[in-house]
């Protein structure tokens, strides 16, 4: 039977902690891709999906949106003269397609 001294046990525990990589899980490190359904007024688009990833933009979280029509990357567009809903985010692709991410009670509800 082996006897362990306190210093030997402490060294063993420290080595185990240093050898194991601890990764923090947060919104940006999970690399989650969200899929949102169309929630607008046109029934023909009800099965059209928008793919959205959460990315870091400087010191905040932003959205990387893929156009549901042409699959190109979209850039966040400035708000037009029309009044936006609270926290609505608008995006535009190079072909001119526009997408608005509509907020819900627990995050983004869908797009239109």
pLDDT tens per residue, range 28-79: 556 678 899 999 899 999 999 999 998 887 888 788 999 999 999 999 887 7
CB environment 40-74: b (16+ within 10 A), e (fewer): eeeeebeeeebebebeeeeeeeebebbbbeeeeeb
pLDDT above 60: residue 19: no
Quick one: which of 34, 56, 42 has its CA closest to 104?
A: 34
Percent of the chain with pLDDT strictly greater than 70:
66
Contact indicator for 91, 75 with CB cutoff of 8 Å: yes
List, for residues 81-105, the tens digit of each pLDDT value. 666 566 788 999 999 999 999 888 7
Query: How many residues belong to the chain?
Result: 112
Q: Rounded to two decimals, what is the model's pTM?
A: 0.66
Instruction: Considering only residues 103 and 6, tell me which one the structure prediction assigns the higher pLDDT.
Output: 103
- The answer to whether 91 touches 102, Cβ cutoff 8 Å, is no
């Amino acid at each position: 039977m082996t006897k362990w001294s306190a210093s030997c046990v402490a060294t063993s525990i420290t080595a185990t902690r240093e050898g194991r990589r601890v990764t923090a899980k947060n919104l940006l490190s999970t690399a989650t891709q969200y899929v949102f359904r169309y929630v607008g007024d046109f029934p023909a688009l009800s099965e059209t999906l928008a793919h959205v990833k959460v990315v870091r933009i400087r010191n905040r979280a932003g959205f990387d949106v893929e156009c549901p029509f042409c699959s190109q990357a979209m850039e966040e567009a400035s708000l037009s003269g029309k009044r936006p809903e609270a926290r609505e985010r608008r995006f535009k692709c190079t072909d001119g397609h526009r997408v608005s991410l509509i907020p819900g009670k627990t995050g983004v509800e869908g797009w239109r």
